[in-house]
């Protein structure tokens, strides 16, 4: 399945690229002013994740947030291996620079990480 370049894909990509925060489907939909269908946005985002262009965090509100990968391809780190922060004031999610550290539990294989810290961000403080 070779990927194609479409308007929708480019639009979602630019919205995500111009955001300093991770975004949920509905936030993206609002930005597109209804130009793209819900299901299509999800499909585009999931494709971005498959292709390693973006990554996904599930926050403690149960929603999926997507962000462009910056250092995700660093082979020394597992995918998603950095902390995320959810501000309960401005309801945004951001990627934190800090890498999640943990001791490898005996006989466990760890393939992915999904870590969110919740609180109030510096802007809302």
Partner DNA sequence: TAATAAATGCGACTATGTTGCAATAATTAT
Partner DNA sequence: ATAATTATTGCAACATAGTCGCATTTATTA
Residues in touch with DNA (CB under 7 A): 1-9, 24-26, 35-40, 42-44, 46-47, 58, 62-64
Distances (CA, A) of 76 to 18, 30, 73: 27, 36, 8
Q: Quote the least distance from Cβ 124 to Zn ion, whole Å.
A: 3
Place of tokens 């802007």: 123
Q: Tell whether residue 87 is a contact of Zn ion (CB under 5 A).
A: yes
**Based on CB atoms, which residue is closest to its own copies, 18 or 107?**
107
Say if residues 41 and 53 touch (Cβ distance below 8 Å).
Answer: no
**Based on CB atoms, which residue is closest to Mn ion, 23 or 95?**
95
Q: Tell whether residue 20 is a contact of its own copies (CB under 8 A).
A: no
Say if residues 79 and 95 touch (Cβ distance below 8 Å).
Answer: no
Q: Quote the least distance from Cβ 63 to DNA, whole Å.
A: 4
Say if residues 82 and 99 touch (Cβ distance below 8 Å).
Answer: yes
């Amino acid at each position: 399945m070779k990927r194609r370049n479409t308007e929708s894909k480019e639009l979602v990509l630019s919205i995500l690229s111009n955001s300093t925060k991770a975004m949920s489907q509905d936030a993206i939909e609002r930005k597109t002013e209804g130009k793209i269908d819900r299901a299509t946005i999800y499909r585009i985002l999931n494709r971005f994740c498959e292709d390693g262009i973006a990554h996904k965090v599930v926050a403690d509100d149960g929603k999926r947030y997507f962000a462009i990968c910056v250092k995700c391809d660093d082979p020394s780190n597992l995918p998603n291996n950095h902390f995320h922060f959810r501000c309960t004031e401005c309801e945004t999610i951001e990627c934190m620079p800090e890498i999640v550290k943990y001791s490898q539990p005996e006989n466990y294989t760890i393939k992915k990480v999904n870590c969110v810290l919740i609180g109030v961000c510096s802007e809302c403080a």
